[in-house]
Amino acid sequence: LVDITEREQVGQIRRDFVANVSHELKTPLTALLGFIETLKGPARNDAPARDRFLTIMEREAERMNRLVRDLLSLSRVEAEERMRPEDRVDVAALVESSVLTLRPMAADAKVALTVSGASAPVWVRGDADQLVQVFTNLIENAIKYGGSGGRVEVMLETSARELAFRGPGVRIDVVDHGEGFDPVHIPRLTERFYRVDSHRSREMGGTGLGLAIVKHIVNRHRGRFRIESTPREGSRFSIMLPAS
How many CB atoms are located within 10 Å of the residue 196 CB?
Answer: 17
Q: Can you point out the beta strands (E) in the chain?
A: 88-90, 112-116, 123-125, 151-162, 167-176, 224-230, 234-242
- The helix/strand/coil state of 62 is helix
Residues in 135-154 that interact with ligand ADP by CB under 6 A? 137, 141-142, 145-146
Cα separation of the two ends of the chain:
42
Q: Does 201 bind ligand ADP (CB under 6 A)?
A: yes
* Binding residues for ligand ADP restricted to 210-229, rule: CB under 6 A: 210-211
Task: Round to whole Å and give the CA distance between 111 and 116.
Answer: 16
Contact between 126 and ligand ADP (CB under 6 A)? no
Smaller CB distance to ligand ADP: residue 146 or 169? 146
CB of 161 to ligand ADP, least distance (A): 29
Report how far residue 203's alpha carbon sits from residue 63's, in angstroms, rounded to the nearest whole number: 10
- Measured from the CB atom, the residue of 137 and 242 that comes closer to ligand ADP is 137
Residue 208 interacting with ligand ADP (CB under 6 A): yes
CB of 188 to ligand ADP, least distance (A): 9
CB of 67 or CB of 156, closer to ligand ADP: 67
Distance (Å, rounded) from C-alpha 242 to C-alpha 76? 22
Instruction: Write out the residues near ligand ADP by the rule CB under 6 A.
Output: 137, 141-142, 145-146, 176, 178, 181, 189, 195-197, 201, 206-211, 235
